Amino acid sequence: MRKLIVFLFILVVLLVAVDRVAVAGVERDLANRIAAAADLSGQPTVTIEGVPFLTQAVSGHYPEVRFDLGTLTYGGVPVRGLRGTAYDVTAPLADIIQNRADIRAGRLTVRGTLTRATIDKFAPDGVRISGNGRRLVASGEVRVGANPVKFNAELRVDVADGGIRLQAERIEGVPDSLAGLVNYTIPFKGGLPFDVRVTGVRNVADGLEFTAEATDVPLRG
């Protein structure tokens, strides 16, 4: 009985070791593919969620793969802390070993932050942006006829045309009808990685955090 227990213990240790070695190899392969898909110069950090890993590898299906791309610039827009999750990744082990291209994510989401400095950079001339994590505030001058008029306004943030639109509301100092003068969009010209589209945006302490999503995403080596 004691020999059997020792044998089973050694077997479990070996299986755990093999599991961890295998997961490291597949994470490395997926990191290469994600770097290529996102046009990165370095490798992102990739983590395959769920244990035991070997059962996922044998099935060729990974329910959740997390990755961290760091700080990048897309279409002239710096994005800080860009990270994402690929769901329902179909990656047959033979395709990974032979570096075949047919590896896909059923759905892929990313999340990143635009700092207040970036938001301010895209604002109209004469407009400054500030905030406290709950709301953004615009202040500055607009021209009413030939006269410059100072104003303060809260900003409403929406998703628009693949970018993020900021529109003044509750404006002080000028008539509400002129709120449209403080209205601009931060675009992602050329798109975000993996062809994701912005689906949501919210105020955070550092600026604006956005989420974006795509379906049936290829992860080519």
Distances (CA, A) of 123 to 79, 80, 131, 144, 198: 17, 19, 14, 18, 20
Other beta carbons within 10 angstroms of residue 72's beta carbon come to 18
Both tokens of residue 157?
Answer: 């943030």
- Which CA distances in Å does 32 have to 122, 125, 220, 221? 33, 42, 9, 6
Give the count of beta carbons closer than 10 Å to the beta carbon of residue 15: 12
> Which run of H or E residues covers position 90?
strand 77-90
Q: 63 near 48, Cβ under 8 Å? A: no
**Per-residue pLDDT tens over the stretch 134-191:** 788 888 877 777 777 787 888 889 998 778 998 888 777 766 666 666 788 888 877 7
**Percent of the chain residues past pLDDT 70, beyond the cut:** 75
Question: For residue range 22-70, what is the model confidence (pLDDT) as tens digits?
Answer: 566 677 777 788 888 777 777 888 887 766 556 666 677 888 889 998 8
* 84/98: higher pLDDT: 84
41-49 long-range contacts (CB < 8 A, ≥24 apart) are 44/68, 44/69, 44/70, 48/23
- What is the total residue count of the chain? 221
Q: With bands split at pLDDT 50, 70 and 90, how would you rate the model's confidence at 1?
A: low
pLDDT of residue 113: 94
Structure tokens of 212? 């974006």
What is the reported pTM?
A: 0.78
